Structure 1
């Protein structure tokens, strides 16, 4: 039997350490697989430091991860007991703290929230979604094409999911940009408490707008669902969808483009090779999933589990990246194999994985078609990864390509508005949120900030 106290895990350089390995900082971001390899030597679950002074247990074994993800009884998702001992300025708190969402709660609340989210997603017209992604991608490619160079992260993969989110949620461009910018700040873990409040207030503003002017969009459908979600519950489901629909889809697109542009098995795709974009997406979901470590649970009492002592009320984090690449289960040829854990498994599996895959696939295919002679502008080994244990995210993806002729700006109903904060575009049938928020809006803002009872 091992425990965090009796048998500390090795440090990232392979030597014994007084404390567990760190999952924060640039060293981990540069070589997470090196840390996972050392942790596997410690057992299927090993102690780590999630943030300065914040311990946790990381699951690196595929079969053990499956067992935990499927067991809501021993491994509940409610973080409230844990977060009582975490200082409010802790940078991971806004990400890991309890929210009444279908991925961070337990039954019976989980089932009720999950029903509302899945029913809402089921109302999305997938053909209309494909058309909108294609049109938005063409618009962005037309902007980049004449320049002959671009950062595919900031100029393409970051913008495209935002445009799609605005469309699906009935969100004015400026407000959507504010929300996604706040998500990015939270995931940077710098000023994350302030960014969390900014995100919350922006979501509440969207809800106020939709309350005054309902439409055929996910925000309205959530607010009107027969499950009768409270205002707080609606707000948090939107936050969940914003995070998954912007940051994680962005990372999936960027990580897959990196693979296509650097790996000779896939590089032929740019000129009619044998492996498809779908194969590349599956490879990334196995090897570099955009959500690298999450699926956090909090045992309510100490557990002896697979030879490891798990403390009560301490985070047990699933390493999707490490478990997917567990040497005990890894196959040489995984083309077409989608048994990875990157969308989650069991009752908390991602409800929007179908929509996310559609967005990523179309975004990549349109880019490869529009810029067929694209090449990396920086050697792949010199690309840098953003710090943080939760996401696997490049800082940039610079490319060069032969410049394309400039395109005339689109006009008419098919034009795609850019998400510019200095030139907000509010649909004519949507009145702006009132300057003085209604009582429910103020109450909900106070609740989000922790000031309400």
Structure 2
């Protein structure tokens, strides 16, 4: 290949900084700062024996994300060059979904997803998220202590996925366990098979029994998705709705409870919950490094020539905290890269923000005297090259007993059963799908009680 710029230096073999170890999990900002000495690009290792180029600079990151011709998403050639048992393969392997496609095929799949998500009524979803959150809080409020990650932030997205995608609770719980294992790089081959199996069950169920949910609307879309395409689109949608969502909620609650700028402002009318979410999306986004591309040939970037097919990973947290942007992250600026950018910008970012906002507002309003149970510096982060994820978020607060009136209103200890049994999810006036379902009410899923039992460890 003729190099486009004689000043561009080829990549030289050198020691690569691991992003999968405890050092990075404990102090990613310190690692990013050290890597900046190399310039806007750094040589990193995603897993043992898996090299990559990490983009640290905001403008350089945008140039990659907005140039799919030079930096496409197709990872199939790369897959043949790495051990198939590598813990990161499952999160980077090619799938026939919107995340790994470019051009017209990407546009076809994205239109189907955007149209299906657009049929969800945001007011009904907001109410469902709030009532689900209240149900979770009622279980631990009388105890005076909780783990807001495992008792709250991890379970709430599970409830939302169950309703949005028409997935029976027992399938959703298996699915979320598989997604978590994939992000952690633990037994990924089994987790990948389990995830595919779960999603296939949901697709088969909704083909036979259509309902007013995102899965059915995707099946009915004029794009004509076949079963394999359906499975792969739901894999990326549910993956994005589980692990990153729980991390966004938990990381924002951690910030709220540890930063005096946010303490005590919930009733002050200054939208501190939104401010906390914005701060996290800038500084500690739930995906610290992702938006991976695979240049099909040698390519010049920021004065260097990168090898063909080697992953180019966007350091989302690093780019967001580019020293050149220090003055930009103020006054509600939302130009961060937490939702990616360009053609692959997250199509559900508005829905994700709303879910996170409601989750935070509900628990902070219900338990206003809540504090961290340990010093913030003692909270532990999970290892892994992609996510920014806590292992736990322990808190304590004055116990809040469930009154008889609350018990009567919510159906007692099985308060889950009182969540809306008949809900209209369809947004009126959306006409982009081929076969429009009516805004029929959705009956509560028959497996709901099994989810209650799973959540309570029975």
| TM-score range normalised by the length of the shorter chain | 0.7 to 0.9
Pick aligned residue for 1:5 from 12, 21, 36: 12
2:423 matched residue in structure 1:
none
Aligned ranges for residues 405-444 of structure 1 at < 5 Å?
405-406=401-402, 407-408=406-407, 410-411=410-411, 415-416=418-419, 427-428=445-446
Secondary structure of the 1:408 match is helix
1:449 matched residue in structure 2:
none
Matched, 1:195 2:191: yes
Give per-residue Cα distances to partners, 1:363-409, cap 9 Å, x unaligned: 00000001010000010001010011111111100000000012527
Cα drift, residue 88 of structure 1: 1.5
1:205 matched residue in structure 2:
201
- State the distance in 2 between where 1:91 and 1:174 align: 26
- State the distance in 1 between where 2:248 and 2:367 align: 19
Give per-residue Cα distances to partners, 1:244-299, cap 9 Å, x unaligned: 11111110000000000001111232574856100111010000000111111111
Matched, 1:287 2:283: yes
Cα drift, residue 85 of structure 1: 1.2
Aligned ranges for residues 364-379 of structure 1 at < 5 Å?
364-379=360-375
1:49 matched residue in structure 2:
45
TM-score by length of 1: 0.88
- For residues 121 and 250 of structure 1, do their structure 2 counterparts lie closer, same or farther at Cα, with a shift above 3 Å needed? same
Pick aligned residue for 1:215 from 211, 216, 221: 211
2:104 matched residue in structure 1:
108
2:66 matched residue in structure 1:
70
Q: Confirm or deny: 8 A CA contact 2:169 2:447 kept in the other structure.
A: no
Cα drift, residue 208 of structure 1: 1.2
Q: Confirm or deny: 8 A CA contact 2:10 2:305 kept in the other structure.
A: yes
- State the distance in 2 between where 1:416 and 1:163 align: 11
Cα drift, residue 62 of structure 1: 0.2
Tell me the matched-pair count.
412
Pick aligned residue for 2:250 from 254, 266, 271: 254
Q: Confirm or deny: 8 A CA contact 1:22 1:49 kept in the other structure.
A: yes
Pick aligned residue for 2:346 from 350, 367, 388: 350
- For residues 71 and 332 of structure 1, do their structure 2 counterparts lie closer, same or farther at Cα, with a shift above 3 Å needed? closer
Which segments of 5 or more consecutive residues in structure 2 lack a partner in the other structure?
1-7, 421-442, 449-458
- State the distance in 1 between where 2:128 and 2:215 align: 18
Cα drift, residue 301 of structure 1: 0.7
1:119 matched residue in structure 2:
115
Secondary structure of the 2:324 match is coil
Q: Confirm or deny: 8 A CA contact 2:41 2:55 kept in the other structure.
A: yes
Q: Confirm or deny: 8 A CA contact 2:266 2:273 kept in the other structure.
A: no
2:426 matched residue in structure 1:
none
- State the distance in 1 between where 2:174 and 2:416 align: 25
Aligned-CA RMSD value: 1.9
Cα drift, residue 304 of structure 1: 2.0
Q: Confirm or deny: 8 A CA contact 1:61 1:323 kept in the other structure.
A: yes
Q: Confirm or deny: 8 A CA contact 1:283 1:334 kept in the other structure.
A: no
- State the distance in 2 between where 1:70 and 1:44 align: 17
Cα drift, residue 335 of structure 1: 3.2
- For residues 333 and 339 of structure 1, do their structure 2 counterparts lie closer, same or farther at Cα, with a shift above 3 Å needed? closer
- State the distance in 2 between where 1:56 and 1:162 align: 32
- State the distance in 1 between where 2:197 and 2:359 align: 30
TM-score by length of 2: 0.87
- For residues 179 and 114 of structure 1, do their structure 2 counterparts lie closer, same or farther at Cα, with a shift above 3 Å needed? same
- State the distance in 2 between where 1:98 and 1:359 align: 29
Q: Confirm or deny: 8 A CA contact 1:2 1:308 kept in the other structure.
A: yes
Give per-residue Cα distances to partners, 1:80-111, cap 9 Å, x unaligned: 01101122211100100111121221112101
- For residues 217 and 332 of structure 1, do their structure 2 counterparts lie closer, same or farther at Cα, with a shift above 3 Å needed? closer
Secondary structure of the 2:112 match is helix
